[in-house]
């Protein structure tokens, strides 16, 4: 007689596979964080209260931007204790080019160690003229990366529009990718990539293993909208972008970023995360 119940052998085989399946599913899940520039006004007024609010929304991690370097060492220790208590992590930090130089890098290193950051990301740069200026930025990144890697940190670079805007027929981001060590993360800002007319998926696929984090910034070509649209309201093909990031880019974490919207900053961050979750990412 046929039955819907499992045989003992089938049951044992199934249960033996389950732990592996759970581990595989967990490995495929990319944690979602918030670039704290998104809530910059709140962060400036109340750093700890803002981090509490971000954790309460359900974000798993965050990325502090440049003003964290104005904190005192005691404030950095207090922030790490708060994050530990909330169960939220600092995935990375954004730093100006000036903090990648030998005479200033130590402060950033010390703060990143305390915060538990994985990556020190160069968030902006001021290259000299032409492609040679970008090559010097790449050289600066390589030197800093050697120093960071000796103590367990990694370097990264974050693009804006200029990196995807051709100079003498070449996009500077291609120079940075070619001239920097493969250990240096190329953190992709999706919105600015789209705004320049570049294809985020094509860029990810052209640089396997190097797009280890992304700023999930939305963008719309509609007049008056630009970066002010919420996650999911613009033209980004998030399914294609995130699939490429996971399968090819080597993504370790994603970061929601908003430059501003029709809602207050904290509400904006919450709405973007809700949409991200609702889409099943």
Q: What is the pLDDT of residues 225-257, one digit of tens each?
A: 999 999 999 999 999 999 999 999 999 999 999
- Phi and psi of 187, rounded to 5°? -75, 115
The C-alpha atoms of residue 50 and residue 23 are separated, in whole angstroms, by 33
pLDDT beyond 90 at 10 = no
Q: Residue 176: which pLDDT band, with cuts at 50, 70 and 90?
A: very high
Distances from the Cα of 37 to the Cαs of 34, 101, 217, 265, in angstroms?
A: 8, 23, 12, 10
pLDDT for 102 equals: 86
Q: Which token pair is 185? A: 């993360």
pLDDT for 40 equals: 98
Q: How many residues does the chain have?
A: 281
Q: Long-range contact list for 85-90, CB < 8 A, 24+ apart?
A: 86/51, 86/52, 86/55, 87/55, 88/51, 88/54, 88/55, 88/59, 88/60, 88/61, 88/62, 89/31, 89/33, 89/60, 89/61, 89/62, 89/116, 90/61, 90/62, 90/63, 90/64, 90/115, 90/116, 90/117
The single residue listed with the structure tokens 């908003």 is 258
Contact 155, 188 (CB under 8 A): no
For 210-217, what is the mean pLDDT? 98
Higher pLDDT, 27 or 247: 247
For 26-41, what is the mean pLDDT? 88
DSSP tag of 31: P
pLDDT beyond 80 at 204 = yes
The C-alpha atoms of residue 121 and residue 141 are separated, in whole angstroms, by 10
pLDDT beyond 80 at 275 = yes
Contact 248, 202 (CB under 8 A): no
pLDDT, mean over the chain: 91
């Amino acid at each position: 007689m046929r039955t819907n119940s499992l045989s003992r052998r089938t049951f044992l085989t199934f249960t033996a596979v389950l732990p592996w399946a759970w581990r595989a599913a967990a490995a495929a899940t990319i944690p979602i964080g918030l670039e704290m520039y998104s809530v910059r006004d709140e962060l400036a007024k109340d750093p700890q209260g803002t981090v509490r609010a971000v954790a309460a929304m359900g974000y798993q991690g965050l990325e502090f931007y440049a003003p964290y370097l104005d904190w005192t060492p005691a404030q950095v220790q207090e922030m790490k204790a708060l994050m530990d208590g909330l169960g939220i992590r600092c995935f990375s930090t954004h730093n100006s080019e000036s903090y990648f130089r030998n005479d200033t890098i130590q402060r950033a290193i010390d703060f990143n160690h305390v915060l538990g950051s994985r990556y020190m990301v160069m968030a902006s740069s001021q290259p000299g003229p032409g492609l040679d200026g970008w090559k010097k930025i790449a050289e600066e990144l390589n030197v800093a990366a050697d120093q960071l890697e000796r103590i367990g940190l990694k370097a990264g670079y974050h693009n804006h529009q200029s990196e995807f805007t051709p100079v003498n027929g070449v996009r500077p981001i291609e120079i940075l990718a070619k001239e920097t060590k493969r250990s240096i993360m190329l953190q992709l800002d999706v919105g600015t990539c789209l705004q320049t007319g570049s294809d985020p998926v094509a860029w990810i696929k052209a640089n396997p293993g190097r797009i280890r984090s992304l700023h999930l910034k939305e963008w719309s070509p509609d007049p008056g909208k630009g970066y002010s649209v919420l996650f999911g309201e613009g033209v980004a093909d998030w399914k294609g972008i995130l699939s490429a990031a996971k399968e090819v880019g080597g993504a370790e974490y994603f970061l929601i970023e908003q430059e501003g919207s029709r809602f207050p900053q904290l509400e904006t961050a919450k709405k973007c995360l809700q949409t991200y979750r609702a889409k099943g990412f």
